[in-house]
Structure formats: structure tokens, C-alpha cells
Amino acid sequence: MEDFTQVDRRLSGFTYIMSNQIGLIKVGQSMNPEDRRRVLESSSGLAVNIELVVRGSFKEKITHRLLKEHNTVGEWFSCSVDIAIEALKSIEYLNNEAIYDQMLNYTKAELDKVLKERLKELIKYSGSYVYLSKMLSIPISTVQGWVIRGRISKGGAILVEKHKDLAKNFSSKYLRPDL
């Protein structure tokens, strides 16, 4: 297991998913998830496991919003570990708090829809995914991968921004607000 005890305090901490032995899921944030696990375990008398930890404590509230239908009380949720991990991983790419407020207002489905629509706009503007791949000098399969995932990659968004014609209408921030 990764050592979370030596954390630079200037970082924004971690968002974690933990589970207890009765099947409840805890989504929280901490500078030291392992210490938090021990506190939860000793205060509840239940075994607690760390399931996933990602950088960025601001991701906690977004994950809570994505899991709101499973909320039992506070930061505890009644869902599978897989559902909780999927929710957190769906926003793991966010790397700064500047877009926090914008993303907090989206459910996971809404966020996925926004990113998918922006990719469709780009492909339509280019003429087709084949033309887009030619414009960016990348394999067609790369663009097909974006379509399957429903969002352009970070590297792809940067390529678009560097392209003289595409950059006029599509910034990397528009295509991928986490950049």
C-alpha cells in the first residue's frame, strides 16, 4: 500500500473511498487517508478498508454529488465499492479547483454528456473523424477511441489547440476543462 503519511501540506490533499465490514462506503477527504482509516476503525469498532485514494481533496464533494442517490447519512453511502470507485474515477482527471464549482453542478451523466457533445462538435466542424485524424496527423483509431470513451484525451485537446484552423473554435479548456 502507498505511504500516505509523507504528504506535502501545500497539496490539496486526497479524496478517498473506504468500505467497512457491514458494506457501507465512506467518501471523504484527508491529508492522510491511512490515519483517517484508523480513526474511523477505532471510533466505529468496525474494520475499514481503503479502496481508492486520488489526489485532490476537492473531488470529494463532486463524488458525493455523483453518488447522492446512494447517500445514507453524511459521507456514508449504500452502494457497491465498484459504483463508488467508478464515480470517483470518472472525475479523477480533474486537476485543479478552478473548475470545481462548474463540475459540482453536473451529475456524472451530465458531465459525460457535455464532454461527449463537445467532441461531437469538434468532429462535425472537422467534417468527420477521418478528417479530424488527418488534420491532427494521428491515427484514425485514436479518434475512434475518443468517440468510444465519449471525450477527447488531454493530449488530443492540446493538439487541437495547436492546430491553426481548429484552435479558432476549440480551446483545450473547452474540450477538456481540466487542462
Q: pLDDT tens-digit profile of 108-133?
A: 677 788 889 999 999 999 999 899 99
What is the spatial distance between Cα 161 and Cα 173, in angstroms, rounded to a whole number? 9
What is the spatial distance between Cα 83 and Cα 90, in angstroms, rounded to a whole number? 11
Question: To 5 degrees, how large is the angle CA 29–CA 30–CA 33?
Answer: 105
**Residue 11's pLDDT band (cuts 50, 70, 90):** very low
Torsion angles phi and psi, residue 6, rounded to 5 = -100, 80
**Residue 105's pLDDT band (cuts 50, 70, 90):** low
Q: How does pLDDT run across 157-176, given as a tens digit for each residue? A: 999 999 999 988 888 878 87
Across the chain, which distance is largest between two alpha carbons, in Å? 61
Q: How large a percentage of the chain has pLDDT more than 70?
A: 82
8 Å CB contact between 51 and 81: yes
**Residue 95's pLDDT band (cuts 50, 70, 90):** low
Matching residue, cell 479502496: 51
Question: Is residue 102 predicted with pLDDT exceeding 90?
Answer: no
Q: What does the pLDDT read at residue 107?
A: 63
Q: What does the pLDDT read at residue 111?
A: 73
Burial class (CB in 10 A: 0-12, 13-18, 19+), 28: buried
66-69: list long-range contacts, CB under 8 Å, 24+ apart.
Answer: 66/90, 66/91, 66/107, 66/108, 67/25, 67/27
Q: How does pLDDT run across 55-79, given as a tens digit for each residue? A: 888 788 889 988 999 999 999 999 9
- CATH 3.40.50 at 106-175, yes or no: no
